[in-house]
Amino acid sequence: MKISAKQKGVLAGISTGFMATSLLIGAGILLNPFHYPADTSNVEGLAVAMRCCALLAVFVALSVGRLAKQRFFNPEDIDGGGLSEGSAEAQVLQSVLQNTVEQTLLAVLVYMAWAATMPGEWLSVLPLAAISFAIGRLLFFAGYRRGAPSRALGFALTFYPSVGMLLVIVGRQLWLLL
């Protein structure tokens, strides 16, 4: 099967995102760049996670605000997506919002699980993942209209840290059970 130029572009973006995620999680665990102590309590860990989630919320708010502005200033869109088909611009902004909400939900759940179950000195992964999320969302927003290859890295920097962390959580919990 031959892959298209778009598929090659997406593969390049997600491969870069995968490598960055591997480095991010590895550096967070092995180097502890934010110097969290091993005896960090669960309450302190959850506080770190909540601070990181506040950064994620900024991107949901930006997405909602961009769509709300589009709807307010465009008569075709003002009644909302449930009452009209909406302009092409509103459909794009709705898609970006939907993806941002999905990514944020996954990240919040994983961040909370990480904070509650991982060793204190592994907490540096959380702010690193939140920074990756922010960079990823900015790249996703900027590249969305140019197609899948242009948004692939942004998607990967948002999605892969959450999935990678989830795999580490599940793997560690299975290891502890054995």
Taking only the tens place, the pLDDT of each residue in 35-72 is: 999 999 999 999 999 999 999 999 999 999 999 999 99
pTM (2 decimals)? 0.95
Residues in the chain, overall count: 178
Transcribe 74-93 into DSSP letters.
-TTTTT-TTTS---HHHHHH
Give me the domain span that covers residue 125.
Answer: 5-177
- Average pLDDT of the chain? 96
Give kind and range of the element (H or E) at residue 125: helix 125-143
CA dihedral for 129, 163, 102, 9, sign (positive or negative): positive
Q: Specify the residue for token string 């909602």.
A: 64
Task: Name the domain count of the chain.
Answer: 1
Cα 161 from Cα 158, distance rounded (Å): 7
Task: Give residue 144's pLDDT.
Answer: 96
pLDDT in tens, 68-98: 999 999 989 888 777 777 899 999 999 999 9
Say which residue the tokens 């993942």 belong to.
129
CATH number of domain containing 148: 1.20.120.550
d(CA 124, CA 3): 38
Q: Which pLDDT belongs to residue 13?
A: 97
Average confidence (pLDDT) over 144-161 = 97
